[in-house]
Structure 1
């Protein structure tokens, strides 16, 4: 394979990766905890875009439980975003694990 062909393929892959990253930015995942009393929504750029808490989850005598529910839902949302990003990038790379992509 000559160098110019390889460079064209690299540029094409870079362009495709940028497209996937733009698509991921538009996608959202949702995670809940405590049977749905805490809901966290994150986008494909690993940013939390919404948190909702049912009034039932707010107990002034047990703030620690609410903190744990928020933490659990947030961590689950981040796992879902990472899985979604890996799946989308896997389509692009043909399943090859390329370090540093996601």
Structure 2
């Protein structure tokens, strides 16, 4: 092979890392801006796990004629009152 052929090959091989770094930077930057950082995600998860048990959202059945007709969700401390009010309204309507 001639010197020019080897020269072209070495230039191509030498430019591969620079090209791959450039393409990686161009392709990943827009995507990275849309994804939360793992540190932020970890902090959010910890705050959810450490939240007060009374603030957690729980669900409960609304019963009519011995059947669960639908479920409602509310904070743990507010659910019994909501269930009782809805249950009473349904009982009044079904009479």
Q: What TM-score do you get using the length of structure 2 for normalisation?
A: 0.31
**Which structure has the larger Rg?**
2
Q: What TM-score do you get using the length of structure 1 for normalisation?
A: 0.29
Say which structure, 1 or 2, has more relative contact order (CA 8 Å, 6+ apart). 1
